[in-house]
């Protein structure tokens, strides 16, 4: 037996417009991505997200909350990002803090690479800081891909120099970053 609510609901349209799945960059941020040569396939493998420059040309840090693996053997980018957040957060927890730039490498996780992998990750943080003219402590680093191999630092350095200047406050820039985050995924990661 229909109720008063049923008759009220029937007045609403059940035809919904199609939803386009795409990356939409939030205001105040810039992004880009491209192929640096980390992946042998030549597919995009280096992504950047940063705060936009202000009227004075400086980038302002953004508040960050992060979720990291609880694994005792976390990879070099995880440990360095936690340390950077801990240094910028008064509580020192390493889960919250301030950041201005993020770099992601795809194709090599830089995990299980020991002290050499840690040094490589620190070098990448320096590269990002220099490219964005920001303090190194305000960088976050991500890597995904093969475990047990080191990142090709000179390839990453060349990629930073070639790709970072393309940072843009556009959906296309964010889509390029999302594409560069892919490893074996069959679809681009967007939310």
Q: Is the predicted pLDDT of residue 143 greater than 70, yes or no?
A: yes
- How many whole angstroms separate alpha carbon 89 and alpha carbon 98? 7
> Higher pLDDT residue, 9 or 149?
149
Q: Which residues contact 109 (CB under 8 A, 6 or more apart)?
A: 75, 143, 144, 145, 146, 147
pTM: 0.87
Q: Is the predicted pLDDT of residue 21 greater than 90, yes or no?
A: no
> Higher pLDDT residue, 188 or 108?
108
Reduced to 3 states, what is the DSSP secondary structure of residue 18?
coil
Give, to the nearest 10 degrees, the angle between helix 114-132 and helix 153-163. Answer: 20
Instruction: Write down all domains in the chain, each with its CATH number in brackets.
Output: 35-180 (3.60.70.12)
């Amino acid at each position: 037996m229909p109720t008063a609510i049923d008759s009220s609901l029937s007045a609403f349209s059940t035809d919904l417009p199609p939803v386009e799945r795409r990356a939409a960059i939030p205001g105040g941020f810039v992004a880009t991505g491209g192929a640096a040569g980390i992946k042998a396939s030549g597919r995009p493998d280096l992504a950047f997200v940063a705060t936009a420059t202000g009227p004075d040309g400086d980038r302002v840090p953004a508040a960050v909350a992060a979720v990291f693996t609880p694994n005792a053997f976390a990879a070099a980018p995880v440990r360095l990002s936690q340390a950077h957040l801990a240094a910028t957060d008064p509580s020192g927890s390493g889960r919250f803090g301030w950041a201005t730039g993020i770099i992601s490498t795809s194709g090599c996780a830089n995990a299980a690479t020991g002290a050499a992998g840690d040094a490589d990750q620190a070098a990448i943080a320096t590269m990002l800081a220099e490219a964005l003219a920001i303090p190194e402590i305000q960088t976050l680093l991500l890597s995904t891909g093969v475990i047990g191999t080191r990142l090709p630092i000179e390839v990453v350095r060349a990629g930073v120099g070639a790709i970072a200047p393309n940072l843009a406050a556009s959906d296309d820039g964010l889509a390029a970053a999302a594409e560069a985050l892919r490893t074996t995924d069959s679809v681009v990661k967007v939310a």
